[in-house]
Amino acid sequence: MEESSLQRLPNALGSIKTLLSKRFQALTKTRDEKDPSQSWWQAYNFSQLCYFAACSLLAIQGFWAEEVNIIVPGFIALVGLTRELLGLFHYLWSYSLGKAAILILYATTANVALAFAAMQINLITGVEPTPFVFTLGFTTVVMLPFWITVATISFFFMFMIVANLWLLLRLPFRLLGFKPAIHWEDKKHPFVTMIMRIVLIPVVMISLATVTSPYFAVTFGNIPININFLEEDVALIDNNGNISTDVSELTTPQQQAAMDEAQAINDTIGSFQATNEEKAKLIRRFIAHFLFYFESYPNSACIKTTEQRSVIIDENMVLLISPDESGEYGYKFDVTRCEPRITVEL
């Protein structure tokens, strides 16, 4: 009996060895092994494909287009970055500390948004925004693209700093024998993908700022930007754009050309700012329309004309609103003492 058990032992050990060998080969099989039926793009996730498409558009425009339009590539990259941010959001939300941080950021942003909305109502009406409960909420919603842009730009800026630091910190880790993952999702070409992220994040930030620039004009106003050349600076520029150390070598037409170019740049900036200011007025007009039709009332206990609408400020004062096309926002706002409308019946 013992001899038969000893005879079966080598066979059992051989079977175990074969099984372990197959399992080891399965575990050590590389992820990058290509499937003949799989297309090349299926090895990448959706965000990587968005980054590749955005970089390709930028490269094509850089080589063959006269002017580079970064808005379309920026929004393609934004789709990929947003997808990754949603995954990060769900990951943070699964922890109590992450939930607390998100709720604190949300409450802070909401408070600041309400404060800016109240400021816009004050600029439109000229009075404190306390009576305008509905308009305050409506203005906050209208200004939502601005706050989404500010939050996105701030987060992407921090992400870009962290990504650069992580790429630098990986070098000493690799020297110590550790190989930390560059990204939690990228399986193929993660280093190249991280470089594309770092390159595309400024493009996304500029695209968002360009599209929502009227909201920045509404919130902060237009900051005048002018390019001025000193005469001694212009005198050192020749027709080829080279710098000369001898002012006498340059002619007056060359200096005038430099001044004309600076003026053309200033005209372009001025036109862009004027367009933003017009769009900012449209946004404020939109808020004023809502205030007139939904916040004010056609009937009032105070004496007013037929075309006027009223909002009671306190027990003594009333705000009268009337359409006025000559007004900056299409309406005229008058604060007056409330004279009670008393009907005497005989």
Structure tokens at 184: 């939690």
Mean pLDDT across the stretch 7-14?
Answer: 56
C-alpha closest to that of 302 among 345, 335, 332 = 335
Residue identified by tokens 């942003």 is: 109
**pLDDT at residue 227 in the model:** 46
* Eight-class DSSP state of 243: B
CB contact at 8 A, 284 and 120: yes
CB contact at 8 A, 79 and 49: no
Q: How confident is the model at residue 7 (pLDDT cuts 50, 70, 90)?
A: low
**pLDDT at residue 345 in the model:** 53
- What is residue 310's three-state secondary structure? strand
Measured CA distances, 344 to 57, 302, 341 (Å): 76, 15, 10
- What is residue 30's three-state secondary structure? coil
**pLDDT at residue 21 in the model:** 59
Hey, which of 4-13, 125-134, 176-185 has the most confident mean pLDDT? 125-134
Mean pLDDT across the stretch 74-94?
Answer: 86
Cα–Cα distance, 339 to 312 (Å, whole number): 12
Name the maximum alpha-carbon separation found in the chain.
Answer: 129
Mean pLDDT across the stretch 79-104?
Answer: 86
Q: How confident is the model at residue 35 (pLDDT cuts 50, 70, 90)?
A: low
**pLDDT at residue 256 in the model:** 60
**pLDDT at residue 148 in the model:** 83
**pLDDT at residue 167 in the model:** 76
Our CA angle for 267, 59, 242, nearest 5°, is 50
Task: List own/partner pairs for 285-289 with CB under 8 A and 24 or more apart.
Answer: 285/329, 285/330, 286/142, 287/120, 287/121, 287/124, 287/135, 287/138, 287/139, 287/142, 287/329, 288/124, 288/329, 288/330, 288/331, 289/330
| Model confidence pLDDT, tens digit, residues 133-172 | 999 999 999 888 888 888 888 888 887 788 777 777 777 7
Q: What does pLDDT average to over the chain?
A: 76
C-alpha closest to that of 55 among 150, 154, 194 = 194
Q: Which amino acid is at 56?
A: S
**pLDDT at residue 343 in the model:** 65
**pLDDT at residue 132 in the model:** 92
Q: Please enumerate in sequence order all residues whose Cβ is within 8 A of that of 79, keeping only pairs 6 or more positions apart, or say none.
A: 50
CB contact at 8 A, 38 and 188: no
**pLDDT at residue 259 in the model:** 63
Question: Percent of the chain beyond pLDDT 90?
Answer: 19
| Model confidence pLDDT, tens digit, residues 230-266 | 444 444 444 444 544 444 554 556 556 656 665 666 5
CB contact at 8 A, 209 and 149: yes
**pLDDT at residue 210 in the model:** 84
| Model confidence pLDDT, tens digit, residues 292-310 | 999 999 998 888 889 999 9
Residue identified by tokens 């600041």 is: 112
Instruction: Let me know if 208 is exposed, middle or buried by CB neighbors in 10 A (0-12, 13-18, 19+).
Output: buried
Cα–Cα distance, 52 to 135 (Å, whole number): 44
Quick one: the chain helix, strand, coil %, rounded to 5?
65, 5, 30
Question: Which comes out higher in pLDDT, residue 225 or 272?
Answer: 272
| Model confidence pLDDT, tens digit, residues 204-228 | 888 888 888 887 777 765 544 444 5
**pLDDT at residue 150 in the model:** 83
**pLDDT at residue 229 in the model:** 47
Point out the least confidently predicted range of 40-49, 183-192, 227-236, 251-260.
227-236
Instruction: Note the Cα 124 to chain centre separation in Å.
Output: 26
